[in-house]
Amino acid sequence: MIIEKQDPYCKSCSSYSHIRKNWLGSIVFPFSALLQQSEFSDQTDVFKRAQIFKKSCQAMFPNRRVTATVFNGEGIQILVTRYIKALNPPQQLLDIFLHDSNATLDLIARFVSLIPVVPDVLDENDGFDIWMTSERCISLAIGNKEEHAILLCNFFLYFGKKALVVLGTSMLEGQVAYVLTQETDEFLLWNPLTGQCHKQFDPFCPLQSVDCLFDDGNVWFNIQQNNTPMAVHFDYSKESFWKQLLPKDFQGTNAQSIQPEEIIYCETNKSMIEDLKNRIERTLKCKMMEWRPKQPTHWNRQCTYILQKILPKLELGTGSFVLSEEEGEFERLLQFYWVTGFPMQMPYTDVQSIIDAVYQTGIHSSEFPQTEFALAVYIHPYPNNVLSVWVYLASLARHE
């Protein structure tokens, strides 16, 4: 700043000036930001390519899904490939089946399926998908269909599996995201919302169409005339079957994954689990009496005791458990009662969802005279408050 002054006692004297420096503040440019400036033009080229790619694909097959870019949690547009990275599952899951890798993979798929699902907030066709990172999905214990698939894919990559995310449609769920793994002599399709695995040629696989694939390096659009899973050739290196977003020698993007180096898990509070279990039991018993206003509701303690012992074994049984002791007790019970009921398993979202599921079974509506009921609730805790809820409701009618 230049300041001019004149001697007040000598008006005939000439004025003089001096320079005064005032500190107003500072601006810091992070070095990483300066480096990113050089990438902006490259990223712009990639986004233009992605836009052209999407329009071209939709022109060929308007009814097939294609997603190359989405918005992250900060509202920044990024390539879907940046969501794919090997990430560690909870150590608790890795320690259960130390010598059975297939059982461990099934358990990890089950863990992902227990994370509650939220529908996409925005219209699925408006092109403005917002996806969270896998770490955020775990910390909030909630995610959409694509976030579930990305999480499961990243867990499989941790084990060295060849895995990609599949976008397609299902007769049961509409638009879906699955995980494709390549085994020695076959491809497997994993539904992250159920934890179920299907072979490519399984006629009972709910996946109806395979429209798009992506991994950490590229996006492929299915240009085969028949896009049903059993008819699709999954060799995405063949350009006659798959249209790829980025050519093999493309150097326009070297953006890092937005996923963390590792996920830190927290243990679920066991006392909270016990309180929740008791609250669910009390609520269901009260609801049973509300649903049967004209009939008394009697509880069979012996059957309840048996069901309480069965439920924990179902969680990690993987379908090959042995319930010899409980089977014997149940057989003795069947000598006196006609028993109707079955166990239900669901991710925990809220108590009302459990009430609705129990009501829909219709077991409470038994009109046999002197009907008794048995109710057992079990909650299996996983890290980060991911809960598997089991409810077994049974009605017992004495043999005439």
47-50 long-range contacts, Cβ below 8 Å, gap at least 24?
Answer: 47/77, 49/245, 49/246, 49/252, 50/79, 50/219, 50/245
**Architecture of the CATH domain 34-120+127-244:** Roll (3.10)
Q: Which of 141, 191, 175, 145 is nearest to 350 (CA)?
A: 141
pLDDT band per the 50, 70, 90 thresholds, residue 32: very low
- In sign, the C-alpha dihedral spanning 248, 253, 258, 260 is positive
3-state secondary structure the chain: CEEEECCCCCCCCCCEEEECCCCCCCCCCCHHHHHHHHHHHHHHHHHHHHHHHHHHHHHHCCCCCCCCEEECCCCCEEEHHHHCCCCCCCHHHHCCCCCCHHHHHHHHHHHHHCCCECCCCCCCCCCCCECCCHHHHHHHCCECHHHHHHHHHHHHHHCCCCEEEEEEEECCCEEEEEEEEECCCCEEEECCCCCCEEECCCCCCCEEEEEEEECCCCEEEECCCCCCCCCCCCCCCCCCCEEECCCCCCCCCCCCCCCCCCCCCCCCCHHHHHHHHHHHHHHHHHHHHHHCCCCCCEECHHHHHHHHHHHHHHHCCCCCCCCHHHHHHHHHHHCCEEEEEEEEEEECCCHHHHHHHHHHHCHHHCCCCCCEEEEEEEEEEEHHHEEEEEEEEEEEEECC
pLDDT, mean of residues 17-36: 47
Question: Would you say residue 324 has pLDDT above 70?
Answer: no
pLDDT band per the 50, 70, 90 thresholds, residue 333: confident
Dist. CA 385–CA 115, nearest whole Å: 9
pLDDT tens track for 213-241: 999 999 999 999 999 999 999 999 999 99
Question: Would you say residue 86 has pLDDT above 80?
Answer: yes
**Amino acid 328: pLDDT:** 76
CA–centroid distance for 30 within its chain: 35
**Architecture of the CATH domain 270-398:** 3-Layer(aba) Sandwich (3.40)
**Amino acid 367: pLDDT:** 79
pLDDT, mean of residues 127-136: 88
**Amino acid 28: pLDDT:** 46
pLDDT, mean of residues 24-51: 60
Question: How many Cβ atoms from other residues are within 10 Å of residue 285's Cβ?
Answer: 14
**Amino acid 337: pLDDT:** 86
Bridge partners (DSSP) of residue 396 are: 339, 372
pLDDT, mean of residues 41-62: 89
pTM score: 0.83
Between CA 58 and CA 69, with CA 63 as vertex, the angle to 5 degrees is 50
Mean pLDDT lowest for which of 56-70, 281-295, 322-336? Answer: 322-336
pLDDT tens track for 229-275: 999 999 999 999 999 999 887 755 557 899 999 999 999 999 999 99
Q: Is the CB of residue 318 less than 8 Å from the CB of residue 100?
A: no
**Amino acid 13: pLDDT:** 57
Question: Would you say residue 92 has pLDDT above 80?
Answer: yes
Residue ranges covered by each domain of the chain:
34-120+127-244, 270-398
pLDDT band per the 50, 70, 90 thresholds, residue 29: very low
